[in-house]
Amino acid sequence: MRILPSFIAAFLLSACAAPTLRGTGDLGVVIERASGSVAVVDNTARAVLGRVEGLGDLSHASVVFSRDGRHAYVFGRDGGLSKVDLLERKIARRVIQAGNSIGGAISQDGRLVVAQNYQPGGVKAFDAETLELLADIPAAFGDGKQFSKVVGLADVPGSKFAFALFDAGEIWVADLSTPRQPKVTKFRNIGSQPYDGLVTPNGRHYIAGLFGEDGLALVDLWRPEQGARKILANYGKGQEKLPVFKMPHLRGWAVAGGRAYLPAIGRHEVLVVDTATWQEVGRIPVKGQPVFVMARPDGRQIWVNFAFPDYSHVQVIDTLEQKVVQTLSPGKAVLHMEFTPRGEHVWISARDDNRVVVYDTAGFARLAELPVQNPSGIFFTSRAARIGF
């Protein structure tokens, strides 16, 4: 009989003792920008499970998830792309893929992770398993020697990705079904300086906000032959040139019951738009300049946070009543909100109070407070099952 030293047995035991076998459907991450880390959270237990550090500059960081929910892909501002293992709570892989980057997306089938970059301007696609570079799509425009900053990247069905070129005034749709041979469809002259974009929850309409002029650019991805068109011609900073404390995030746009709810720019209003005609059908007064305007998954409520100086409040619009029904004060500097998958709770980050607050969305009870260092974005793994997140 062979023998094994006890320290080997102890090693074997400890190796299998942690991490715990568990489901990943209720996991998530909270960005801790100041420390370059993420808190790994459990939205059933409403608890912080641990922390993964060493993720670089997480200003404006965003996150997508592998289709099995085990890994979070964290896109840093410094071009770092980190694949974080939520079960083992460690960095599984990490590459520096650009000099200045602003977020990413994951393909419908989960096989490709795509980053959008300011410098060098363009889009890069990576194998989701290995982070091997598969495609590099420089955002060349004009004489072909200039490269645009890329914004508003969103996955759409069919292994496609839509994005906008800030400097070029173009919207591109890249078909990556054969990743090493991307096919790019370009929509030119869509408007001046697109600064952000989104795809509607059904993956049909891509919309880019314009910084250089009023209005929004819309492409019907089911009817690409119709080209881009301008909608909501008065949407923007307008003639009065109101002070704008923070350009609102389009990605937060809520679409519910055939209506889209948009943050007005510079005004204390949420705009209501009919998604069949893309005409404005109403305005709802709110407490400040809206930043994120997000629909609860069932579409009954719209939750709104605000730019400075109203950034310690959150308001809730009832879509049946078409008015604000609740005002909450989760803490100082509310930066982001995330609903649990079926919308019974919402998690809200209060950066300057170092906490994430969890509310019941039916009765607005404050259910929990979690200590997180300067929290900003909150992302749950249920995003893996959604289009355009």
> Among 46, 67, 283, 313, which residue interacts with a second copy (rule: CB under 8 A)?
67
In the complex, least distance from residue 343 CB atom to a second copy, rounded to whole angstroms: 6
**330, 338 in Cβ contact below 8 A?**
no
In the complex, least distance from residue 275 CB atom to a second copy, rounded to whole angstroms: 9
Residue among 103, 116, 131 nearest 165 (CA): 116
Residue among 322, 282, 367, 288 nearest 45 (CA): 367
Return d(Cα 124, Cα 101) in angstroms, integer.
Answer: 11
Q: What angle do CA 36, 109, 47 make, to 5 degrees?
A: 40
> Among 50, 138, 157, 215, which residue interacts with a second copy (rule: CB under 8 A)?
157
196 CB-near residues (< 8 Å, 6+ apart): 151, 152, 164, 208, 209, 247, 249, 250, 251
Kindly state the tokens that stand for 56. Answer: 């670089």
**40, 51 in Cβ contact below 8 A?**
yes
In the complex, least distance from residue 362 CB atom to a second copy, rounded to whole angstroms: 5
Binding flag, residue 365, a second copy (CB under 8 A) = no
In the complex, least distance from residue 69 CB atom to a second copy, rounded to whole angstroms: 3
**71, 24 in Cβ contact below 8 A?**
no
> Among 31, 58, 64, 87, which residue interacts with a second copy (rule: CB under 8 A)?
87
In the complex, least distance from residue 117 CB atom to a second copy, rounded to whole angstroms: 24
Return d(Cα 118, Cα 96) in angstroms, integer.
Answer: 14
Q: In this structure, which long-range contacts are made by residues 336-339, counting pairs with CB atoms below 8 Å and at least 24 apart in sequence?
A: 336/292, 336/305, 336/375, 336/376, 336/377, 336/378, 337/292, 337/294, 337/303, 337/305, 337/378, 338/28, 338/378, 338/379, 338/380, 339/294, 339/296, 339/297
Residues in contact with a second copy, counted by CB under 8 A, come to a total of 65
Beta partners for residue 230, in sequence order: 217
Binding flag, residue 340, a second copy (CB under 8 A) = yes
User: Considering beta carbons, is residue 255 or 370 the nearer one to a second copy?
Assistant: 255
User: Considering beta carbons, is residue 9 or 325 the nearer one to a second copy?
Assistant: 9
> Among 90, 183, 342, 366, which residue interacts with a second copy (rule: CB under 8 A)?
342
User: Considering beta carbons, is residue 27 or 168 the nearer one to a second copy?
Assistant: 27
Binding flag, residue 3, a second copy (CB under 8 A) = yes
Tell which positions 240-279 bind a second copy, by CB under 8 A.
Answer: 256-258, 276
Binding flag, residue 50, a second copy (CB under 8 A) = no
Binding flag, residue 68, a second copy (CB under 8 A) = yes
Binding flag, residue 382, a second copy (CB under 8 A) = yes
Which residues contact a second copy by CB under 8 A? 1-6, 8-9, 12-13, 15-17, 19, 21-27, 44, 65-71, 87-88, 108-110, 157-159, 177, 202-204, 222-223, 256-258, 276, 297-300, 320, 340-345, 362, 381-382, 384-387
